[in-house]
A and B are shown apart, each in its own frame.
Chain A
Amino acid sequence: MKPKSVAVVGAAETTKMGKIPDVSVLGLHADAALNAMKDAGLKPSDIDGVATAGVSPVELAQYLGITPTYADGTSVGGCSFMLHVRHAAAAINAGLAKTILITHGESGRSRVGAGGFGRNASSLMGQFEMPYGVTSPPTMFTIPVLRYMKTYGVTEEDLAMVAVVQREWAARNPRASFKDPITVDDVLNSPMIAWPFRMLMCCLVTDGGGALIVTSADRAKDFPNKPVYVLGTGESVETPMVSQMEDFNSSKAFRVSGKKAFDEAGIKHADVDHLMIYDAFAHLPLYGLEDLGFCKPGEAKDFVRERNTAIGGKLPMNTNGGGLSYMHSGMYGMYALMESVRQMRGTAAAQVEGAKISVCQGVGGMFAAAGTVIFGNEA
Chain B
Amino acid sequence: MARMLPEPTPETRHFWEGCKDGELRLQRCTECTHSYFPPRPFCPKCGSRDVEVYAASGKGFLYSYVINHRPRPDMGTEPHSIAVVELDEGPRLMTNIVGCPQTPEALQLDMKVQVKFEKQTDDISLPLFEPAKG
Contacts and interface: CB of A to CB of B under 8 A. Distances in A.
A248 B64 contact: yes
A120 B101 CA distance: 31
B94 A194 contact: no
Interface string B60-81: 0001111111111011000110
B23 to A, nearest CB: 17
B66 A146 contact: yes
Interface string B1-23: 00111111100100010000000
Contact of B64 (A130, A143, A191, A194): A143
Given A124-B38, A194-B70, A243-B94, A131 B3 contact: yes
B45 to A, nearest CB: 12
Interface residues of B, number: 37
Contacts of A45: none
Contact of B8 (A127, A132, A144): A127
A193 B70 contact: yes
Contacts of B96: 132-133
B7 to A, nearest CB: 4
Contacts of B84: 143-144, 243, 248
B94 A128 contact: yes
B64 A128 contact: no
A135 B66 CA distance: 12
Interface residues of A, number: 34
B7 A143 contact: no
A193 B109 CA distance: 20
A268 to B, nearest CB: 34
Contacts of A135: 68, 70-72
A195 B4 contact: no
Contacts of A144: 64, 84
A121 interface: yes
A139 B38 contact: no
Contact of A195 (B72, B93, B104, B110): B104
A143 B9 contact: no
Interface in B46-102: 63-72, 74-75, 79-80, 82-84, 92-96
A196 B95 contact: no
A197 interface: yes
A133 B9 contact: no
Contact of B109 (A133, A146, A191, A243): A146
A195 B38 contact: no
Contacts of A127: 6-9, 12, 16, 38
Contact of B9 (A122, A130, A241): A122
A129 interface: yes
B36 to A, nearest CB: 10
B82 A132 contact: yes
B126 interface: yes
A142 B66 contact: yes
A129 B38 CA distance: 11
B94 A132 contact: yes
11 contacts: A122-B6, A127-B9, A127-B38, A131-B4, A133-B96, A135-B68, A142-B66, A143-B65, A147-B109, A196-B104, A241-B38
Given A124-B38, A127-B12, A146-B64, 17 more contacts: A126-B6, A126-B7, A128-B37, A128-B94, A132-B94, A132-B95, A133-B72, A133-B80, A135-B68, A139-B82, A143-B65, A192-B69, A196-B66, A243-B92, A243-B94, A244-B38, A248-B84
